[in-house]
Amino acid sequence: MYEELKRILRSGQRMVFFGGAGVSTESGIPDFRSESGLYHARNRYGVAPEYLLSEECFLREPKIFFSYYMENLIPKNAKPNRAHQALAMLEDQGKLAAVITQNVDGLHQMAGSKNVLELHGTIHDNRCLACGARYELSHLLDETNRKDGIPRCSSCGGTVKPRVVLYGEALDEDCIRRSVEAIEAADVLIIGGTSLAVWPAAGFIDYFNGEKLVLINRSATDVDRKADLVIREPIGEVLGTCLNLN
């Protein structure tokens, strides 16, 4: 399997990568849907995590929202793993046209990737809902900027909201368009670290008409039967080995 993937990586000229939570688990960031993942927060908060990360919770109970958000969505000293590094290398070689990610952690950019399409937004871009002022993640991490646990704008005192797509919010239309265009133009589509269970992103694969579809995921997905190559191993281990990363 590895030798076949190496051949595909050598021959691909306009590859696109589409990834999910499994790309970052090797960096120590939990997968929402794993047995040990964030969904077990239900035991602590008494409500479903989908509610805790919803627009409704943000509007109705912002203190609870930010308590959960700050504890669970902000990576604790997470660094890019071999999957992130391999993709950045492929882009630097001119072989990878785009990274499409469902993650919000910014690890692809930290590894050096430049054309990253973040379907669900990013924790690194935060805006004041009152005046529109922009803030880095460091603003939210500084406790002096939080009043009653809620991040506040230094200029007007308004609530600072992460530019993360919450449950109940729509995906950015421009990001969707650019993602679809990238997949349509790809000669190789590599899907990694995602169960392809979240829509509408899961439907993006239908736009692929290229030569090779590769799926790297620890568990089976409904798309396995469509793939030219399926590898059920950790994606960082797979890509790191194929590109000789230590």
DSSP states of 79-138: ---HHHHHHHHHHHTT-EEEEEES--S-HHHHHT--SEEETTEEEEEEEETTT--EE-HH
Distance between CA 188 and CA 186 in Å, rounded? 5
DSSP states of 48-88: -HHHHTBHHHHHH-HHHHHHHHHHHTS-SS----HHHHHHH
> Which of 40, 84, 108, 120 does the annotation list as catalytic?
120
Q: What is the DSSP letter of 40?
A: G
The single residue listed with the structure tokens 């794993």 is 34
Per-residue exposure over 172-208, b if at least 16 CB sit within 10 Å of its own CB, e if not = beebbeebbebbeebbbbbbbbbbbebeebbebbeeb
List Cα–Cα distances, 82 to 52, 103, 244, in angstroms.
31, 16, 10
List Cα–Cα distances, 28 to 12, 64, 95, 102, 211, in angstroms.
30, 24, 28, 16, 33
Asked if 84 is an active-site residue, the reply is no
Omega before 200 within 30 of 0, i.e. cis: yes
Question: How many Cβ atoms from other residues are within 10 Å of residue 170's Cβ?
Answer: 8
Q: Which residues are catalytic?
A: 120
